Structure 1
Amino acid sequence: MPRRDAEPVPCLLELALLHPDPDDMDWLVPTSPQEVMTRLLRGVYDEISASQRRVGSAVAAFEWYAGLGGQASASSEGMAIRVLDGPSRIQAALDEATAACTTEVLTVQPGGIRREHELSEGLHRALALRGRGVRMRDLYNHVARHGQGLLNYLELMGDAVEARTLDEVIDRLILFDRTVAFIPANADRTMALELRHPGLVEYLVTVFERLWRLAIPLTAPLPDTGLEGISHREQSIAALLAEGHQDAVIAERLGISVRTCRAHIARLSETLGAASRTQLGVRIAQVGLDRPRASSSEAEVISVSGVPRVPGAPGVPGQESPTGR
């Protein structure tokens, strides 16, 4: 076709759909479809080729790192800190540590009264340990004393398990043979840390032993508060109130529900004659509940009125014994 006829449609030349006739430059001839397609798709082809090369490099690098990962997995037992993600991995690691344990297991079990299903979940491990002569020591909150499930568990385990209680304990801790420890890694305990670093494990053993010396054997009664009408738990709540903690924090630290905590606070207010939380704080300080109590064997015991009295003297009429709750 003559060149002048193509001038109203310049894209035909721009896209090389037409090209000049070599024998007469005033005429244009069509380009073959295959040549046009090759030219138009050349840029796309170059991009695809570059992407394929990048994919190949990434695959090669991944395979190399995957080989390193296999070596790391093979030696995972020697890792100082291992993150266990998910209950199944945590359970598998605990079962493995239980099977390898030969001497001693130390545990801290926070959270108040232990439910039957919680105790039964780990019963098979405890029985296996007892069968191998492994000794176990467990720390609980004082409130765990009121759970029949724990008492049944300890009776079943016999002298293989020794249990003590404290007002407050640290978060969950399990130590096997003083060589490996397990602690929670998040609040809902869906992740855990397996610790094998000797320094870390020794530190946790020291923490446990110091708490153990402060704890009271489960078979021994809790000490008398020395205050008429105030139970040991109410004494603990009063001390935490004096530190400025909210009800929910106190309940969590003592292993009781918020509702139970508030009921104790109400009884404490009634016993101390406090009409408000502010007045309760003043009364707690007046009777000395904001600081460690002296032992009941000392000569002087303070009554709720703040007046010293001789041990063994009659209490305030109408008030129940501190051991009555």
Structure 2
Amino acid sequence: MDDSCVAAYDNALRLGAYEDSRIAALLSCDEAEAARIRTVLTRMKLLVPGGPGGNAVPVSPDVAEAELSAGLEAGINAYREQLAEVRRQMGAITPVYVKYRQAQRASSGIRVLDGPEDVQRELTAATRECTTEAFTVQPGGGRDPRTLHEISARDTAMLERGVRMRILYQHTARANLATRTHARKMTALGAEVRTTNEIYERLIIFDRSTAFVPKERVGNRPPGAAIVTDATVVGHLWRIHDKMWSSASPYDPSDTEYAAVSEEIRTSILKLMATGLKDDVIARKLGMATRTCRRYMAGIMDDLGVTSRFQAGARASALGLVDAGTGPYTAGESGPGEPR
């Protein structure tokens, strides 16, 4: 329907019938255009056959609407019946699945899945079954945008049905746009997000009863995971990470202030430098690029007035910035290969 169709319908009402030649003259168009308009009005049920000279005649829009709606409503009712049948069938089979899952959890307490596809399938099932709380611990810096897109709908569904969601990242994730965008969306729906210095491993716990613990990664292929349902083990994992959560910094994704956590990162780097760890190991522990880590180290050494990472560790110990007994040397000692 466009303005030409409305004008043609108006003229057909006044003429009492739709005659292509007369409509074309009144609209100052050719008969081909008048025929096109007639086809549209006929499809919309605003013109019906039976007029004088075999021409179509206009009818009330209420009549046209009733005729068009009847077919659509019949289709909607058919879909509702199909949906009801699907729900009936799934409802009949659900107790079988629930019985299997309960027996599975009671039998071993731990299931190991080697394939990432199997892990994703089990994660999807766990998020659908989750009723109370989901606790996610994610090490490293910013997360992959594709991964965040995949989990967004899953997490949103949990939040919308009232599941409490806690997400723990490392401080370096604050600087990642994709992660910040995801965190903003989740917090708007009610999730709690915090960040901390160091996270040892990825972990997801549902309802304090099911934990997903990843296997060691080999190459670039996504790792498998162990699904833990033993109450003692899951409870232990939950308590450890709940303490980590308690000491973490609340994260407001709309707040661009980064000074406080940046200083906390510097302190963590300094403590790890004092242990004698290599640059890439420190960077990996804190979830940042090695180049970024080295920039922090350079700033720390400049602040301490030293020229090497070993001197930085010794100076920090002497100043009480790290524990005196930390690392391979103590206050007053030099690092390997340095003069006393």
Q: Say yes or no: TM over 0.5.
A: yes
Match of 1:114 in 2: 143
What corresponds to 1:154 in structure 2?
Answer: 183
Asked if structure 2 preserves the Cα contact closer than 8 Å seen for 1:216 and 1:222, the reply is no
Equivalent pairs: percent with the same residue? 38
Deviation at 1:76, TM superposition (A): 3.0
User: Is the contact made by 2:274 and 2:312 (CA closer than 8 Å) also made in structure 1?
Assistant: no
| 1:278 pairs with one of 291, 305, 310 | 310
The 1-side partners of 2:109 and 2:207 are apart by: 16
Q: Distance in 1 between matches of 2:144 and 2:121?
A: 22
Superposed CA RMSD in Å reads 2.5
Structure with max Cα Rg: 1
1:130-145 correspondence to structure 2 within 5 Å: 130-145=159-174
Q: Which has the higher strand share?
A: 1
Give the drift of 1:279. 1.9
Matched, 1:214 2:247: yes
Matching residue of 1:201: 234
Question: What SS class does the counterpart of residue 172 from structure 2 fall into?
Answer: helix
Contact kept, 8 Å, 2:273 with 2:310, in 1: the verdict is: no
How far apart, in 1, do the equivalents of 2:165 and 2:102 lie? 31
Please name the residue that 1:92 is paired with: 121
Q: Deviations over 1:90-138 (max 9, x none)?
A: 0011011111111110010001122322211211210111221111001
Aligned to 1:266: 298
Deviation at 1:284, TM superposition (A): 1.8
Kept after mapping to 2: 8 A contact 1:110/1:169: yes
Alignment of 1:174 onto 2:204: yes
> Could you tell me how far 1:192 is from its partner in structure 2?
0.5
Distance 1:287 1:213 in 2: 29
CA contact under 8 A between 2:273 and 2:309: conserved in structure 1?
no
Q: How does 1:247-266 map to 2 (within 5 A)?
A: 247-266=279-298
Classify the secondary structure of the residue corresponding to 1:107: strand
What is the rounded CA distance, in whole Å, between the counterparts of 1:159 and 1:198 in structure 2?
30
Letter in 2 for 1:282: A
Aligned partner of 2:79 in structure 1 is none
Secondary structure of 2:124's match? Answer: helix
Query: How far has the Cα of 1:75 moved from its partner?
Result: 4.2
| Larger helix fraction of residues | 2
Counterpart CA distance in 2 for 1:152 and 1:114 is 11
- Structure 1, unaligned stretches of length 5 or more? 1-71, 293-325
Could you tell me how far apart the structure 2 residues matched to 1:235 and 1:191 are?
34
Q: Contact between 2:134 and 2:163, CA under 8 Å: does it hold in 1?
A: yes
Cα distance in 1, alignment partners of residues 123 and 137 from structure 2: 15
Q: Which residue of 1 aligns with 2:195?
A: 165
Of the candidates 71, 76, 83, which is equivalent to residue 104 of structure 2? Answer: 76
Which of 256, 262, 265 matches 1:233?
265
Q: Are 1:115 and 1:149, in contact at CA under 8 Å, matched by a contact in 2? A: yes
CA contact (8 A) 1:222 1:232 kept: no
Larger RCO of the pair (alpha carbons < 8 Å, separation 6+): 1
Relative to 1, partners in 2 of residues 1:73 and 1:145: Cα closer, same or farther, differing over 3 Å? Answer: closer
The size of the alignment, in residue pairs, is 218
Distance in 2, Cα, partners of 1:100 & 1:216: 29
Question: 1:239-296 deviations in whole A, cap 9, x for unaligned?
Answer: 111122211211111000112111211221122111223322222223332149xxxx
- 1:243–1:127 CA distance, 2 compared to 1 (3 A): same
SS at match of 2:136: strand
Aligned-partner Cα distance in 2 for 1:270–1:279 = 11
The one-letter code sitting in structure 2 at the alignment partner of 1:130 is L
Name the amino acid aligned to 1:289: L
d(CA) in 1 for partners of 2:167 and 2:178?
Answer: 15
Deviation sequence 1:138-171 (CA, Å, 0-9, x none): 1111111111222221222214210111110120
User: Structure 1: how far apart are the matches of 2:242 and 2:285?
Assistant: 20
